[in-house]
Amino acid sequence: QTPSACVGVSCSVTKIKGSNFETIHIVTISKHFSQLTNVALLEQTIEYGLSSDRSLIPLQATSFYANCISEKCVEHGRILRKTGIKSNKPQVECYEFPNEDVETNMTCTGDFCYYRNQSGGVMRGCYTVDDTLADKKVTVGFYEYFSYFTYLCDNKFCNEDEKTTRDNR
């Protein structure tokens, strides 16, 4: 859960170590899913933070996104920010390490695993999706927006590398 006071049509809230970081987006909230409208999703991945001795350490982060073009979706998104997204889809365990940093050995569980190549860096994680109000449903496959290339798959640990993710389509 990522409770928020965000009131924009497009909002994202990221929770890292119990603290919320909010962003209100004017045009789009999530470059890798901007073409899917009236969709809410919960992203789990690794972000780096500072340890007590000021060294970089991987931290599990959860971000909430809502990409709404209808008032009904905005209201639904406000509820989901408070209650969390509960999915009826089969859940899959996914890798959650950035680039080739396999030592982090972190995993997450969601509707889809993802493998994202953004500006030469790689991110892995999972999405839990609420697309009940969407015209187009989120499915396994390839999503592109500007320089972001994202593959979604739905088999256990299918996001190890680009090839295994693509093979799951």
- CB neighbour class for 119 (10 Å; exposed up to 12, middle 13-18, buried from 19): exposed
Which string of DSSP letters, residue by residue, matches 102-137? GGG--EEEESEEEEEEETTEEEEEEEEEE-TT-SS-
Residue 98 is predicted with a pLDDT of 66
Contact 122, 165 (CB under 8 A): no
**Tens digits of per-residue pLDDT, 54-74?**
888 888 889 998 889 999 999
Phi, psi of 71 (to 5 degrees): -65, -35
1, two tokens: 């859960």
Domain ranges, ordered by start, for the chain:
10-167
How far, in Å, CA of 162 to CA of 169, rounded? 11
With a cut of 70, list the residues of the chain below it in pLDDT. Answer: 1-35, 98-104, 145-147, 169
For the entire predicted model, the pTM comes to: 0.74
